[in-house]
Amino acid sequence: MELCNEKFSKKMWGYVNETLVKPKNTNENYVVSINAWNANNAKIITYINNSVEHSIGTQLVKYETTKEV
């Protein structure tokens, strides 16, 4: 599986390699930042889950971040 393709912009790849980390509550725009982070993280996990065999995907549901996957 080639994860680093056109479906992953450099921004999205940052969720996988942890150059984009989950925002901390000290951020002045925390609510907006955490909502965006959670939405993008979920999109990437869904993409990965849809890219692997079903038997593998069922093992991935226990992970909360793309880095964990």
For the chain, give the DSSP string: ---SSTTS-HHHHHHHHTSSPPPPTTSTTHHHHHHHHHHHHHHHHHHHHHHS-HHHHHHHTT--STTT-
Closest by Cα among 62, 65, 66, 68 to 4: 66
More confident residue, 46 or 12: 46
Does 50 map to a domain? yes
Does 66 map to a domain? yes
* Residue carrying the six token digits 């994860």: 3
- Say yes or no to pLDDT of 12 above 70: yes
Does 21 map to a domain? no
What's the pLDDT band for 2 if we cut at 50, 70, 90? Answer: low
* Residue range 15-67, pLDDT digits in tens: 888 888 889 888 788 999 999 999 999 988 888 888 889 888 888 888 888 88
Domain count, the chain: 1
Does 33 map to a domain? yes
Here the tokens at position 61 are 């549901």
